[in-house]
Amino acid sequence: MSLFDKFKPIVDIRAELAKLGVMPFGAVTEKLLSSTEAIVNGHKVILAGTNNYLGLTFDPQCIAAAKQAVEEQGTGTTGSRMANGTFAEHIKLEQELAAFFDRRHAIVFSTGYAATMGMASTLAGPGDVIVLDADSHASIYDGVRMSGAEVIRFRHSDAGDLEKRLRRLGERTANTLIIVEGIYSMLGDPAPLADIAAVKRECGGMLLVDEAHSLGMLGAHGRGVAEAAGVEADVDFVVGTFSKSLGAIGGYCVSNHPELEAIRFGIRSYIFTASPSPSVIASTRVALRLMQERPELREHLWNNAQRLYDGLEQLGFQVSPQVSPVVAVTIKDRNQAIAWWNQLLQRGAYVNLVMPPASPTSDSLLRCSVSAAHTTEQIDRIIDAFATLQPTSMAAAD
């Protein structure tokens, strides 16, 4: 027995892929041509597997703000928010996030992972209960495992199953945290938040919603699924990230509970890491403003999503259950998915290859995500690349 024995399945699949000359995990972006095109593993491709939903990564105003911040404040803060790492701009971003979400309190984290994991691991502790959606992101699972709370799963997006589990808890719902996502990252399906909120009102508990993939996409102001469902008042905590629609890196939690200001100092992923770099905060602040000033970005995004979804569906692919900026094609055979991922790359479309256990079922996914910055012509080229795919074996992969 060795420490390394447990990594054998990963070693094996890496060897298998290397033999075939396919590198789907850790594909190298050698040169970015724009927010939607790049050279990846030597191929010029349309980027259809990023989370750059609003296409703001190359926005001139975001870039100018980041440059200015580097020049004025340096490349990094070199310290924790609790020590030397709180700059005036961190506070301003927290105030702007609170205002945007119409909440009283906000915390900014260094990554989305740190935000979600940190909140999940800190809000509930030993003696408390966490009831989470079975398809929750790894950052949520990591957090709840660290929390020391009793952790119960409910079936994905099944408000009835959530209700059953809360009823079984009886009075313990008083110290129960319910965790769901707004839009689920793999298939792009939105949570039935109106139903979930109704169950919460009926049975008790606090509700945390991860809007990582829904910020800027849904709701009258772009606040996410909770706003679109009209249940923001039932959501105690909203967490999310700057690394998707806001085109940077970092995370946040907003809430009306004044306790958030005390909770902040109990979150290890907030305290024991350096605060976000000045350039990141600067571009995020601009992106947050642009997201509000340019509702047309959302309109482009959804038009693109609809076009890609319809196109792939018409080709006969098994697409996600409903249209969203994440359009995932389900493929039963893992080797088929690998071969097709490789063919798509060579034919000018970069998408994400997702295999179990990262996919929510035993199937594999070719996960596409669209951007407001994609042109109609680019969306059509992605569809055209899919149209060339034929059932094939790995040996036949180009």
Partner 1 sequence: MPDYNDFLSRIYEILKPFAKHGRILNEQSELVTELGLTSLQVMELIEQIEDHFDISVPLNILPDIRTIRDLALQLEKLTN
**Which positions touch partner 1 (CB under 8 A)?**
134, 144-145, 150-153, 155, 165, 168-169, 356-357, 361-362
Q: Return the number of the residue (162 or 281) whose C-beta is nearest partner 1.
A: 162
Residue 88 identity (one-letter amino acid): A
Q: Return the number of the residue (169 or 372) whose C-beta is nearest partner 1.
A: 169
CA-to-CA separations, 264 to 119, 170, 324, in angstroms, rounded: 9, 29, 33
Question: What is the CA 226 to chain-centroid distance, rounded?
Answer: 16
Q: Return the number of the residue (173 or 369) whose C-beta is nearest partner 1.
A: 173
**Euclidean distance between CA atoms 98 and 92, whole angstroms:** 10
Task: In angstroms, give the least distance from the CB of 151 to partner 1.
Answer: 4
**Euclidean distance between CA atoms 366 and 354, whole angstroms:** 6
Task: In angstroms, give the least distance from the CB of 165 to partner 1.
Answer: 5
* β-bridge partners, 206: 177
Task: In angstroms, give the least distance from the CB of 378 to partner 1.
Answer: 35
* Token pair listed for 328: 């995932």
Q: How many CA atoms lie within 13 A of 194 on its CB side?
A: 4
Q: Return the number of the residue (344 or 354) whose C-beta is nearest partner 1.
A: 354
Helix (H), strand (E) counts: the chain? 14, 14
- Reading phi first (left if > 0) and then psi (alpha if -120 to 50, else beta), residue 143 is in alpha
Task: In angstroms, give the least distance from the CB of 134 to partner 1.
Answer: 7
Q: Return the number of the residue (342 or 359) whose C-beta is nearest partner 1.
A: 359
**Burial level of 101, CB count in 10 A (0-12/13-18/19+)?**
buried
Task: In angstroms, give the least distance from the CB of 196 to partner 1.
Answer: 17
Task: In angstroms, give the least distance from the CB of 45 to partner 1.
Answer: 32
**Euclidean distance between CA atoms 32 and 58, whole angstroms:** 10
The Cβ of residue 314 has, within 10 Å, a number of other Cβ atoms equal to 11
Task: In angstroms, give the least distance from the CB of 147 to partner 1.
Answer: 10
Task: In angstroms, give the least distance from the CB of 341 to partner 1.
Answer: 22
Q: Output the CA torsion sign for 173, 174, 176, 177.
A: positive
**Euclidean distance between CA atoms 365 and 358, whole angstroms:** 10
Q: Return the number of the residue (18 or 134) whose C-beta is nearest partner 1.
A: 134
Q: Return the number of the residue (33 or 138) whose C-beta is nearest partner 1.
A: 138
Q: Return the number of the residue (144 or 246) whose C-beta is nearest partner 1.
A: 144
